[in-house]
A = this chain, B = another copy of it.
């Protein structure tokens, strides 16, 4: 099998500290020909749930790669460092649930290993920076074609830390779903997919009720352009989630919603 040659990288490190760059430098050093692509480093510190969701939503629309993810409040404790094989990819990160939804999105894990013997670096490993000293080195060498067995013993997949993403609550004529991500444009991704919709997506229109009781009417469509400027559309987004968007506007501001808020969606009319 040809080496994957590509690492995608997601953390809660931010870009102000040199942490991300130090991990990049280590990977460039250990695997000269491997490319490393930053997915995001803006996850709030320690927010495993948010990172797990964004990673799981992305993997299905990423090319085959080693998916390196580090949100690791337990660094320096006994939590394990793991590699999971899923589909034609590897996932590398702490065993704290961060990788689990992405593994599931890829159809489930094939095998897993506990990292006990990461590639050697020219400095002693720190106790608080496994991203640089453990995870990035393993990801780089996996992407260069190394066998995961080189880095530690196999572990039973069922022994790994699970993590469930928020799910919709189906109701008569619709569902309730939490906002799981608000992007820069104010688009609201929901804990629901078109396949979750009772009777099949799309209904003719959707009535939306926000936590404060306000009701909105949205077109059930496929893209922003299905509604006039300023109009509200509920559509499958680029990650396959149902999302609320305002054409040429900011749905989060218009609806007054933030991540974690639960909205009621009900069919209006017939498809």
Of B63, B184, B236, the contact of A14 (CB 8 Å cutoff): B184
A64: chain B residues within 8 A (beta carbon)? 29
Q: Report yes or no: A238 in contact with B128, Cβ–Cβ below 8 A.
A: yes
Question: Size band of the A side of the interface?
Answer: 35 or more
Q: How many copies does the complex hold?
A: 3
Complex contact A28–B37 (CB within 8 A): yes
- Distance in Å: Cβ of A25 to nearest Cβ of chain B: 5
Q: Which residues does chain B contribute within 8 Å of A58, judged by CB atoms?
A: 18, 21-22
Query: 5 closest Cβ contacts across the A-B interface?
Result: A76-B223, A77-B225, A29-B63, A129-B238, A126-B238
Query: B28 near A6 (CB under 8 angstroms)?
Result: yes
A22 touches B224 (CB 8 A): no
Q: A163 near B: Cβ within 8 Å?
A: no
Q: Chain A's interface: helix, strand, loop or mixed, by majority?
A: loop
**Contact residues of A with B, CB < 8 Å?**
5-6, 8-10, 12-22, 24-26, 28-29, 32, 35, 37-42, 45-46, 54, 58, 60-65, 73-78, 121-123, 126-129, 132-133, 183-185, 222-226, 235-238, 245, 248, 250
Query: B residues within 8 A CB of A8?
Result: 21, 25
Known: A13-B184, A18-B58, A127-B238. 4 other contacts (CB 8 A): A5-B32, A14-B184, A15-B38, A77-B224
**A37 touching B62, Cβ below 8 Å:** no
Q: Which of A12, A121, A248 has the most B CB atoms < 10 Å from its CB?
A: A248
Q: A40 to B19, alpha carbons, bound, how many Å?
A: 9
Q: A74 — which chain B residues lie within 8 A by C-beta?
A: 225
Residue of B nearest to A239 (CB): B126
Known: A13-B184, A38-B24. A61 touches B223 (CB 8 A): no
A-B contact pairs, 5 of them (CB 8 A): A8-B21, A15-B38, A24-B38, A25-B63, A61-B121
Bound-complex Cα distance A26 to B123 (A): 32
Answer whether A185 and B45 are a contact pair too, CB < 8 Å, given A28-B37, A224-B76, A235-B127. yes
